[in-house]
Structure 1
Amino acid sequence: MKNRVLLINPPHTAIGSRIPREHLPPLGLLSIAGPMIDAGFQLDLLDAEFGPMNLFEVVKEARNRRPDWILIGHSGSSSVHATVMILCGMLKFTLPEVSIVYGGVHPSYHYDEILKETESIDVIVRGEGERTATQLLLALQCGGDLTEIKGIAFRQGAEVYASEPAEMIEKLDDYRVAWELIDHRRYSYWGGKRAVVAQFSRGCPHLCSYCGQRGFWSQWRHRDPVRFARELANLHREHGVELINFADELPTGSRKAWKAFLEALIAENVPLILVGSTRASDIVRDADILHLYKKAGVIRFLLGIESYSEATLKRIKKGGSISEDQQAIQLMRKHGIVSMATYVVGFEEETDLDYWRSLRHLLRYDPDQIQMLYVTPHRWTPYYPTVMQRTVIQTDTRKWDYKHQVLATQKVPAWRVFLWVKSIEVIMQLRPKAIFRNLFVRDSDVGYAMRWYTRIGRRVWFHEVFHFLFKGRRQKRGPSLEAFLGNSLEQREYSMQKRKHITIKTAS
């Protein structure tokens, strides 16, 4: 009986995947692997991020492992999609008898276009994959009726069939992560520390219009705090894991659940380092328990600052306030937690004055670290319809990784936007306060975090400047966003929202 499954984590071209020279395990693939192993399937993982492997090497290795099914997914989703399409074509040519299943955020929303574009992909899993992927393989194994499986799309003759969305997984603890599939010695972060990506919660209750994740997860849910803390502690005791990188959009979404997790992890008494992302409002809310954050091992949280303009924050439905953002940074510093402020340029048609105000805004905030990003629109978000007529200057979607400009700003040419962004980064990292904290901080863990990120940031900075000057190919008269990507898919934002199945005719 067929039961051999090969999971492939394709190589990613994003700067974040290449510059640190370290790799984190593919949590999404490991998450769907646990239930499939428990259902009796024999699983193998091919992580092509190591190297990274070129596509010919991936295909050769896949052929050597003799799978019955190949499942492909990547956390980079949209920016890795072009690579996935080429890889699937090569895999299907080499292994025509093997069914290829594709899942993740991007294919969940673009399933019909993908299935019409290529015959190399047999089935697309839409939404959360733990239950759906297992049900799919069980059906494929026994020749069952795929139309009875919720949350998938596939071809039926000349049509694309999309079943009704699968139900949201309410109890995340019902499914386990297959940590046994990886060699923990190969995965590291934070300067060689053995590391994993973990997820305490899924979703976010906030309404940021540009976010490509909120609707995918449907609503915010969390793991059992004590059980999750025990799992992380066991990763340290059994596999020597030192650092946990939270994949959550908002791990702190429930003060009660987050506090219970911190207390449970403290009780486990393991020297773990915790890094992740949260909202400034949650830091301010938890001012009285930030000592628990620190004691549990939280060393850095990323805060989405996004813009200096209250009007822009309101338009993109960010929520929160500028004063709250600044207060959160001060509170974190007081408790020995490094603050990384992400700042996004390009939400609107900005001017040189806007970039100057952005610099002043960041200097006033005084975060420990900053990460400058470029707005990157996704078709299924409410933000997309508001920018459909803007000009695309980067038509290589592999570079749509938030670190490359993709939309033109009419009042400021691309080279000057880039100059502003790089200048802001230099000024923020070389300002006297930042240098002093790097050199004379009393907390050794904070000092290590500051210096490690400074080293990585310096490498990324020079890498981006070199590629912009010598390898960046930008369109001077590019298409509109609508002409390049297509119409809005905003109606699909909530990928697990109930609706009847649909059939879409493919080109004959």
Structure 2
Amino acid sequence: MRIMMIQPNYHSGGAEIAGNWPPSWVPYVGGALKQAGFANIRFVDAMTDYIPDDVLAQIIAEYQPDVVLATAITPMIYQSQTTLKIVKEVCPQAKTIMGGVHPTYMYNEVLNEAPWVDYIIRGEGEEITVNLLRAIANGTDTQERRNILGIAFLEDGKVVATAAHPPIADLDTLTPDWSLLDWSKYIYTPLNVRVAVPNYARGCPFTCRFCSQWKFWRKYRSGTPKQFVDQIEILVKEHKVGFFILADEEPTINKPKFIALCNELIERNLGVYWGINTRVTDILRDEQELPLYRKAGLVHVSLGTEAAAQLKLNLFRKETTIEQNKRAIQLLKQNGMVAEAQFIMGLENETPETIEQTYHMALDWQPDMVNWNMFTPWPFSELFQDLGDRVEVRDYSQYNFVTPIMKPEAMEREDVLKGVLRNYARFYLRKSLEYWFVKDPFKRKYLLGCLKAFAQTTINKRFYNLKRVKYNGLKTKVELGFDESKILTREQIAQLKQAHPELTADVDFSGNISACGAPNDLPEYHGGEPDVPSMKI
């Protein structure tokens, strides 16, 4: 059976400023498939290679796959749907499968919008994909699919979602096949080395209301440090990777295991550098261990400080204070690591003054780097449900951290973007001088490399999607690029909910049939013997 995996050709101007990132789902899902005996796998990275739709159609037609898998985060969803539509146009017999965080929750909407998608993988992809492809290979998927956990599909025009597949209990059983990727394409600009994004842990014990990863992974698990570093050694020695970022929500939450991971890296002496995203509270907790972390090669730590006012921290259900943020940044810098602060912008209470406040906070805290991210209300998060009809923009292609989705009460979306870009310009203009005087040679080289990445993507206008900013003399005009048909009034949103309640997100992984294949919405059973209690099938 010929299997093709495709990374859709989607770009936003966000994380890509630091280089081309390898799509981690490919080695993990592809490795599971190879372990199960599916050897004929080809990966097409339409994103990194900027492959237009017509060229992609030719590639698919030439390969004639039996199965095509594509992924989709929320802003990628339309391009992912288009990608699988192309598959059906040039290879009608091929089975089309979509996975990723967005279709996991929004499978009802996706299957109604894109009925050419044969199956959706809901949740962790490795085991579910293997189970589904075994049925497809045997020609029995239509008969067996109601018994395959963790999928959704159309049947007689109606969406069927099976019960959730249990989380993968032991991450050491994962078998990523890194050879599926052409590593020469994935370069981390700040160090000009190959970059990887491996999984050490999955899940998150915290329940931040703007996030959904803690629900997607459902249970926090981490691998064995030795087993994980075995994978890092393969990446370094066989694929010449020089930098990796842990694709984990909270890599430091289990302190003993994280220390063991660092000790394992020190013992192997692989000469690889790495970065993480973590919580301010973990850095404060680990003050004494920070020298060890740096010795293990940890050079870049991004902190979710995320607020101009404590009000925002409370709204996001964060557990840090403004002073803690400042202290964590100081500790990282004192130990030779790059400290990056993250601010979330564009909430309903945003004003020109709060945007300016984040800039002055950045000057006060003195992080090495700052990111100003636009608040993005994932349509399957708690915060989205609370905001309800106040989220007027339903154009998911713009849910990309660089486009203001919410309209603040006191200003226009365009003015939020202008204010954020002004903060970036002022902050990094200062840093363009400061970086040259950093005493640590490695850190100086790293920061100047980051500055190079900013400069390159500003010139080619990929940074923050600067192509939408137009200048006319001293005036600046911003074209946000929303699909006008996907900007709804509150009345339209209410009507849509009433007319199509089935299109809402399934945030509880409940599906609509039970593990035995029966619908979840059957009425309660009251028959049988009088002493038998009522039960729901």
TM-score, normalising length: structure 2 = 0.87
Equivalent residue number for residue 50 of structure 1: 48
Equivalent residue number for residue 333 of structure 2: 333
Matches within 5 A, 1:155-234: 155-191=154-190, 192-234=192-234
Conservation of the 8 A alpha-carbon contact between 2:306 and 2:342: yes
Distance 1:171 1:376 in 2: 32
Matches within 5 A, 1:412-491: 412-431=411-430, 434-435=431-432, 437-461=434-458, 463=461, 464-469=465-470, 471-473=479-481, 478-480=487-489, 483=492
User: What letter is aligned with 2:506?
Assistant: R
Distance 2:505 2:83 in 1: 30
Query: 1:71-101 CA distances to partner (integer Å, 9 max, x unpaired)?
Result: 1114xx1111111112221210111000001
Rate the CA distance shift 1:494–1:262 in 2: closer, same or farther, 3 A: farther
Query: 1:147-186 CA distances to partner (integer Å, 9 max, x unpaired)?
Result: 1110001122232211100001111111211112122222
Deviation at 1:59, TM superposition (A): 1.7
Conservation of the 8 A alpha-carbon contact between 2:122 and 2:151: yes
User: What letter is aligned with 2:481?
Assistant: R
Conservation of the 8 A alpha-carbon contact between 2:310 and 2:322: yes
Conservation of the 8 A alpha-carbon contact between 1:203 and 1:219: yes
Deviates more, 1:414-423 or 1:333-342: 414-423
Matches within 5 A, 1:366-381: 366-381=366-381
Deviation at 1:287, TM superposition (A): 0.8
Deviation at 1:418, TM superposition (A): 2.0
Which residue of the other structure, out of 486, 493, 496, is the alignment partner of 2:507? 493
Equivalent residue number for residue 140 of structure 1: 136
Match status 1:71 vs 2:72: no
Conservation of the 8 A alpha-carbon contact between 2:160 and 2:513: no
Matches within 5 A, 1:266-281: 266-281=266-281
Which residue of the other structure, out of 69, 76, 81, is the alignment partner of 1:80? 76
Bigger Cα Rg: 2
Distance 1:358 1:499 in 2: 48
Give 3-state SS (helix, strand or coil) of 1:177's partner. coil
Conservation of the 8 A alpha-carbon contact between 1:216 and 1:494: no
Conservation of the 8 A alpha-carbon contact between 1:101 and 1:123: yes
Conservation of the 8 A alpha-carbon contact between 2:405 and 2:413: no
User: What letter is aligned with 2:100?
Assistant: G
Distance 1:119 1:468 in 2: 36
Conservation of the 8 A alpha-carbon contact between 2:106 and 2:505: no
Rate the CA distance shift 1:110–1:490 in 2: closer, same or farther, 3 A: closer
User: What letter is aligned with 2:254?
Assistant: S
User: What letter is aligned with 1:230?
Assistant: D
Distance 1:456 1:141 in 2: 45
User: What letter is aligned with 1:473?
Assistant: G
Cα RMSD (Å): 2.6
User: What letter is aligned with 1:333?
Assistant: K
Distance 2:469 2:35 in 1: 48
Rate the CA distance shift 1:149–1:126 in 2: closer, same or farther, 3 A: same
Rate the CA distance shift 1:238–1:167 in 2: closer, same or farther, 3 A: same
Distance 2:404 2:254 in 1: 35
- How many residues of Structure 1 are paired with residues of Structure 2 in the alignment? 497
Deviation at 1:385, TM superposition (A): 2.3
Conservation of the 8 A alpha-carbon contact between 1:104 and 1:125: yes
Distance 1:71 1:424 in 2: 40
Rate the CA distance shift 1:178–1:475 in 2: closer, same or farther, 3 A: closer
Superposed structure 1 runs of 4+ greater than 6 Å apart: 488-491, 496-499
User: What letter is aligned with 2:118?
Assistant: D
Deviation at 1:103, TM superposition (A): 0.5
Rate the CA distance shift 1:193–1:483 in 2: closer, same or farther, 3 A: farther
Distance 2:260 2:505 in 1: 37
Give 3-state SS (helix, strand or coil) of 1:327's partner. helix
Deviates more, 1:359-368 or 1:242-251: 359-368
Equivalent residue number for residue 36 of structure 1: 33
Give 3-state SS (helix, strand or coil) of 2:382's partner. coil
Give 3-state SS (helix, strand or coil) of 2:241's partner. coil
Give 3-state SS (helix, strand or coil) of 1:457's partner. helix
Deviation at 1:126, TM superposition (A): 0.2
Match status 1:152 vs 2:151: yes
Rate the CA distance shift 1:483–1:133 in 2: closer, same or farther, 3 A: farther
User: What letter is aligned with 1:188?
Assistant: I
Rate the CA distance shift 1:26–1:317 in 2: closer, same or farther, 3 A: same
Equivalent residue number for residue 299 of structure 1: 299
Conservation of the 8 A alpha-carbon contact between 2:395 and 2:482: no
Deviation at 1:426, TM superposition (A): 2.3
Conservation of the 8 A alpha-carbon contact between 1:387 and 1:481: no
Distance 1:5 1:239 in 2: 23
Conservation of the 8 A alpha-carbon contact between 1:165 and 1:498: no
Q: Percent of aligned pairs with the same residue?
A: 25
Matches within 5 A, 1:100-139: 100-139=96-135
Equivalent residue number for residue 532 of structure 2: none
Rate the CA distance shift 1:232–1:496 in 2: closer, same or farther, 3 A: farther
Query: 1:104-133 CA distances to partner (integer Å, 9 max, x unpaired)?
Result: 000001112222222211011100011000
User: What letter is aligned with 1:99?
Assistant: K
